[in-house]
Amino acid sequence: MSTFTALSPDTRPLDSQFRMTHTFHLSVGANEPAAGQLESTLKSASARVDKWQILRRGGCYEHSITVGGIGETSARALRKALASLNSEIKVRVEHMLHFDAR
């Protein structure tokens, strides 16, 4: 499993004007006990969970997890780590840049 840093170097130039978040969209089979595994993977990545929604659709759970405090490179590594938890988990990530007017 990969090691992650809370603030990776790829976020430093943006710190003064922008805030980056990432939303991970996961599709997990209803019979898979994934919530605990997902949580421990997020903790090991030092990702700050801003929002976590779970929706049951048919035979699966759809997780929408918005995290902050990591850069694009760390988000891609986290996506790979989440996808490797189980062959049934499908993951895609949205990288979002927010303008912070200070």
Residue with tokens 């996506």: 79
Classify domain 9-99 by CATH architecture.
2-Layer Sandwich (3.30)
pTM of the model: 0.74
What's the pLDDT score for residue 6? 46
The predicted-structure confidence for 50-87, as pLDDT tens digits, reads as follows: 999 999 888 888 999 999 888 888 999 999 999 988 87
20 vs 100, higher pLDDT: 20
The predicted-structure confidence for 8-59, as pLDDT tens digits, reads as follows: 455 555 456 777 889 999 998 876 657 788 888 988 888 899 999 999 888 8
Q: Measured between alpha carbons, how far is 48 from 69 in angstroms, rounded to an integer? A: 6
- 4 band by pLDDT with thresholds 50, 70 and 90: very low
Which candidate, 51, 30, 83, 34, places its Cα nearest to that of 75?
A: 83
- 91 band by pLDDT with thresholds 50, 70 and 90: very high
Q: Measured between alpha carbons, how far is 102 from 86 in angstroms, rounded to an integer? A: 42
